[in-house]
A and B are shown apart, each in its own frame.
Chain A
Amino acid sequence: MTVALRRTALCVAAFALVATGCTTKPADSPSGGAPKDDASTGSSSGPVTLKDGSQVKLALIPGGAHPYFQPWKTTADTDKTDFKLGGVTFNETGEWDQGKQNNVISSLAAQGYNAFGIFGVSPTDINSTFEDLKAKGFAVGSLASCPAGDTNAADFCLSTDVEAAAYKAAKATIEAIGGQGTIVHLTGNNVDSNTQRRIAGVKKAVAETNGKVTELPVITDIDKDLSTAQKAVADLLASKGKEIKGIVTTAYNPAVAAADGVASSKLPIKVVAIDDDAKILSGIKSGGVAATVTQNPVGQAYVGGWLLALLQSKQCTMKTPGVIVDSGSFVVTKANVDTYDDERKAKTKTLQTDFEKQLSCQ
């Protein structure tokens, strides 16, 4: 039967090769290459209104499931209604694996989606994915994270400047502890370029104190899930709780775990969190959390969707492809906890104005 199986397998392999088909080399045609951009170069003034978004199918694709991206889901529907798009989808099945995310993207492209707002799992790999999509004529925006290095192969990047946000968070922590003492930084995946940028942002703020503030070794790789973060926080408080005056967190799960852990230990530690989870906001109101640095996921999805629709409908082109725009980060304390969202909405409006300067439209 082994021999029969081998023959069958060879036949199937041969059939598969034939079924996928051979091709004939066309005369004088390149094998790939990006399509020519045929948009006009007229400069825009004032708000740009999308003329016809019916041919645009927008896909917003995070790296995987995470509370940060949940606003993208509802904002995608808002994009569809406001800009009368042909279709929208939100797909979080990438499972934080670049290979799986690439598969999700290509499957969506095969189903007719032609404008992609992507949070790349791997900042060092995502440019290859962007290049593939651009070569096939799709509009691509890097949302919530920019590729590592100096090059952005997407049409634009609309993201929190993570180093600046971490710097703000560290400054807020230093201010909360009165300008001197020991702080510790809790963050996510150490082998992620964004984490390295966050670490650099915190170190920069600490260095500016000229030794008045010292930083314990950074605790990384605890954003996998809440229980991992809770365990790390419990260990930290048990071993060095009395030494620490402030905790700065630049990832979601460590932020929630630190807020909870410090509250239950009753240690006089100032916690500066990230994002605006309900637990964190209530911690700010009760005084258990000194501050939080919120980002702008709604602005990223709304403005990103608008921009992608303009680009894919060929109404506009980017004057400088690959431009990077900060979507904003906002320090929230007890003083502005009820009004910070107004500031965020205002930033979203100015983002559209900022991008209009980057567009050439018909």
Chain B
Amino acid sequence: MSAPVSETATQALQEDAPVEKPPRGTPWWANQRIGLLLLVVLLGALFGVLRPAFFNQQLVIFPLLRDIAMFTVVGLAQLCVLSIGHMNLAVGRMAAFSMMITGISYDLFHLTLYSGLLVGLVAGTAIGALAGWVIARTGVNSFVVTLALDFLLLGMIPLVYTSLTDNAAFVVKPPGMRELRNYSLADVCVGNVCGSPAVPQLALFAVVAMVVVGWIYSRTRLGRELLMTGSSVRAAELSGIPTARRVITAHAMSGCLAALAGFMLAVSTGSIKATIGEEFMLPSFLGPILGGTLLAGGFVSIWGTLIGTALTSVIRKGLDLLGVGLESLNIYLGLILLVALSTDRVRTLLSDRSVLGGPPLTSPPPPKREGEPR
């Protein structure tokens, strides 16, 4: 589910433009996402051999998948603004803001679990749209605007929590929240056959987010316009795309997904507190960038975000199980990521060499498109 920008603005706006075939001769193993996926599987197998407990469904796989699901949504939140070549440094604080509104709705207005979630999603969308509106109106870099918004929320959120709560957290748990935290697909049965106890129900939120975001970027005019805006704002404007509105849309989508990730974190840890999202910023970049989404905009990869997130989560979980101490855990994490990315580069070089050294192509390959991941 990856969505490159089309070659020209006109093509980009054609809803049913034919899918362009990749150049023939490029081996399947040269694809970045497949390489990362293989790496995840190999690392999983390696950790499993070294520590068979790695395959413990209840104690390892279940929390691992819950983490991957949550950080994938965090990654998607960043991916939306990366698609237009922007950044959202306030992704974590947007999650905290949205969950603050959700917490108020549970605590003061006694809303149900999903009504509160809906309120949080609306709040996230609104704060994201506000960031986008400021960027579009002022022309100030998204880095600066979202950083300023981050500081604003950093000051505001604790004030609200301390004035409304005793323990700087909304501890009211609406019915269903505890179950959502612990239930797996084993609790979903058709007749006598139930799902896997290793897959948390919370992961379904990530699946829905991936499907919706993937559909927007690969199947809709809006998605193509967003990618076009990311690829070249000027070209997009000349093609009649309302780029200012697309900037607001991308940031609103980012805020909405940040809110969803905040909800998943609140459910999986147990309460809605001011510190929600503090750990979101780095993982929000890590997943999409590892997965092939471009920082410069114009290309996104939803599957890549999932796989990139899974890679870091699997490495961390494996190192946890191997009993690696704090002093060396982050060193190993960094080293493995470095090796993974170097391997990826070597694979690309080998692929280029095999294409160049192989039999002549029946037709010359099309030129490298702007925004194509390398």
Contacts and interface: CB of A to CB of B under 8 A. Distances in A.
Contacts of A8: 28, 34, 37
B306 to A, nearest CB: 8
B67 A23 contact: no
Contact of A110 (B31, B56, B161, B166): B56
A191 B199 CA distance: 33
A327 to B, nearest CB: 21
B273 A122 contact: yes
Given A8-B34, A123-B167, A110 B60 contact: yes
Contacts of A294: none
A109 B59 contact: yes
Interface string A73-96: 000000000000000010011010
Interface string B140-152: 0000000000000
Given A124-B171, A191-B162, A196-B168, A99 B19 contact: no
B182 A132 contact: yes
Interface stretch (B107-115, B184-192, B227-235, B360-368): B184-192
A82 B298 CA distance: 63
Given A5-B303, A128-B269, A191 B317 contact: no
A104 interface: yes
Interface residues of B, number: 66
A22 B161 contact: no
Interface stretch (A24-32, A154-162, A225-233, A298-306): A24-32
Contacts of A49: none
Nearest to A97: B279
Contacts of A103: 63-64, 67, 316-317, 320
Contact of B158 (A126, A127, A132, A191): A191
B168 A193 contact: yes
B276 to A, nearest CB: 10
Given A2-B19, A32-B182, A92-B326, A124 B270 contact: yes
A235 interface: no
A20 B199 contact: yes
B57 interface: yes
A23 B186 contact: yes
Contacts of A9: 1, 33, 37, 303
B196 interface: yes
A99 B67 contact: yes
Contact of A2 (B22, B183, B269, B275): B22
Instruction: Give the residue among A100, A123, A191 with the most B Cβ atoms within 10 A.
Output: A191
B26 A1 contact: yes
Given A92-B326, A103-B63, A191-B274, A196 B33 contact: no
Interface in A132-147: 132, 136
B215 to A, nearest CB: 13
Contacts of A190: 158, 162, 168
Contacts of A178: none
Interface string B1-34: 1101000000000000001001000101001011
A191 B64 CA distance: 27
A100 B169 CA distance: 19
A115 B200 CA distance: 25
B339 interface: no
Contacts of B349: none
B194 A191 contact: no
A22 B60 contact: no
A121 to B, nearest CB: 9
Contacts of A31: 183, 186-187
Interface string B161-179: 1100011110100000010
Interface in A13-49: 17, 20-25, 31-32
B166 A99 contact: no
A193 B278 CA distance: 17
Contacts of B197: 21, 23
Contacts of A243: none
Contacts of A264: none
B246 to A, nearest CB: 23
A23 B1 CA distance: 30
Instruction: Give the residue among B167, B183, B197, B265 with the most A Cβ atoms within 10 A.
Output: B167
Interface string A161-182: 0000000000000000000000
A132 B58 CA distance: 11
A154 to B, nearest CB: 14
Contacts of A266: none
16 contacts: A2-B22, A23-B186, A24-B194, A93-B329, A99-B279, A103-B64, A104-B320, A111-B51, A122-B271, A124-B167, A124-B271, A127-B270, A128-B270, A190-B168, A191-B161, A191-B275
Interface of B: 1-2, 4, 19, 22, 26, 28, 31, 33-34, 37, 51, 53-54, 56-61, 63-64, 67, 158, 161-162, 166-169, 171, 178, 181-183, 186-187, 189, 192-199, 265, 268-271, 273-275, 278-279, 303, 316-317, 320-321, 323-326, 329
Interface of A: 1-6, 8-9, 12, 17, 20-25, 31-32, 65, 89, 92-93, 95, 97-100, 102-104, 106-107, 109-112, 122-129, 132, 136, 148-149, 190-193, 195-196
Please provide the 5 A-B residue pairs with the shortest distance between their CB atoms, ordered closest to farther. Answer: A128-B270, A193-B167, A124-B169, A191-B168, A110-B59
Given A97-B278, A107-B60, A148-B169, 17 more contacts: A1-B26, A1-B28, A3-B19, A17-B199, A21-B198, A24-B193, A25-B189, A110-B53, A122-B270, A123-B167, A126-B270, A127-B270, A128-B178, A149-B171, A190-B168, A191-B169, A193-B169
